[in-house]
């Protein structure tokens, strides 16, 4: 999974457009993009859409429900789980216990809807409040986790920051910290790190640069807010033929040498961390293929 496109759950037109976007996953949104007065209608529209169109796309379908503090989460799950989405995105997740809490709710919903136990995946947003950022170390391996992701806009409101980015367009220190902790928490949880959205979809150069920096730093996917962003995300987060060939050469060199601690390839030394990186890249390439 490289690209996850947000689509408002109360817009049939935008849901329809999302199907042809080429995104690896659609995030049908019941949270920020839907006004409180429209929540009930959005549940109905989203559920009907997933039921009617699920078989027409190879994209995974996630639903971003409302967070636990709203009192709306159970109503969201009661509606959408009947349509059998691939996963749930949990906003304003305050730590590992929230993932456990959602997992328990999903287990009940799966049983009620004739689904196999554990089939519904979870992607929590782990940095939308100050407390959430400080709780990044509480995440660990969980069979439902499909990745961890982060957000800057809600965090801005939580900490009182007037902006998340400096004059050069890059994140300021607080938000760089949240971003880095997401990568580390994902690694500690044996799952993938998914980069947050780039709000200015008209800034094509800035967007590509941010995608490339995210892939460089360890993110393997990125969320999108506009269909035009999807192709760039997919291109940047797909390992290049050259990278795949190099990784295969590293893996083969270790295998041929009897799996030692270090090998030489074309006059350069490669140790076990290089092997692990090569294996991870090949796993990504294989999964995308």
User: How much is the pTM?
Assistant: 0.89
Does residue 171 sit in the same domain as residue 48? yes
**Strand 268-271, strand 262-265: pairing:** antiparallel
Q: List Cβ neighbours of 115 (8 Å cut-off, separation of 6 or more).
A: 81, 84, 109
How far CA 79 is from CA of 30, 68, 76, in Å, comes to 11, 16, 5
Does residue 73 sit in the same domain as residue 130? yes
The range of the structural domain enclosing residue 56 comes to 3-236
Does residue 197 sit in the same domain as residue 67? yes
pLDDT at residue 288 above 80? Answer: no
Average pLDDT on 170-177 reads 96
Query: pLDDT tens, 99-125?
Result: 999 999 999 999 999 999 999 999 999
pLDDT tier at 289, thresholds 50, 70, 90: low
CB atoms within 10 A of CB 133: 20
Task: Point out the domain boundary residue: 236, 252, 280.
Answer: 236
| CATH number, residue 77 | 3.20.20.60
Does residue 227 sit in the same domain as residue 273? no
pLDDT at residue 96 above 70? Answer: yes
Q: What is the pLDDT of residue 273?
A: 83
- Bridge-partner residues for 148, per DSSP? 193
Residue 251 near residue 270 (C-beta atoms within 8 A): no
Mean confidence (pLDDT) of the chain: 94
Does residue 103 sit in the same domain as residue 199? yes
Does residue 86 sit in the same domain as residue 47? yes
């Amino acid at each position: 999974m490289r690209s996850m496109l947000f689509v408002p759950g109360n817009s049939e037109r935008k849901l329809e457009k999302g199907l042809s976007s080429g995104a690896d996953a659609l995030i049908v949104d019941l949270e920020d993009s839907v006004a409180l007065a429209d929540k009930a209608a959005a549940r109905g529209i989203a559920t009907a859409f997933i039921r009617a169109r699920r078989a027409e796309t190879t994209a995974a379908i996630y639903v971003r429900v409302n967070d636990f503090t709203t009192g709306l989460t159970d109503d969201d799950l009661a509606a959408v789980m009947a349509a059998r989405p691939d996963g749930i995105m949990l906003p304003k997740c305050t730590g590992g216990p929230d993932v456990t809490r959602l997992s328990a709710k999903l287990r009940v919903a799966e049983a009620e809807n004739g689904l196999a136990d554990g089939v519904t995946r979870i992607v929590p947003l782990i940095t939308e409040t100050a407390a959430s950022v400080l709780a990044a170390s509480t995440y660990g391996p969980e069979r439902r986790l499909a990745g961890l992701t982060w957000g800057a806009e809600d965090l801005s409101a939580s900490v009182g920051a007037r902006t998340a980015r400096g004059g050069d367009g890059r994140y300021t220190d607080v938000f760089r910290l949240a971003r880095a902790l997401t990568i580390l928490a994902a690694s500690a949880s044996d799952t993938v790190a998914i980069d947050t959205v780039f709000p200015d979809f008209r800034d094509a150069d800035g967007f590509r640069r941010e995608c490339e920096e995210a892939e460089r730093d360890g993110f393997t996917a990125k969320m999108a807010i506009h269909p035009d962003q999807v192709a760039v995300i997919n291109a940047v987060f797909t390992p290049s033929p050259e990278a795949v060939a190099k990784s295969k050469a590293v893996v083969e060199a270790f295998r041929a040498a009897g799996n030692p601690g270090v090998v030489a390839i074309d006059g350069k030394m490669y140790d076990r961390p290089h092997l692990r990186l090569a294996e991870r890249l090949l796993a990504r390439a294989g999964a995308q293929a």
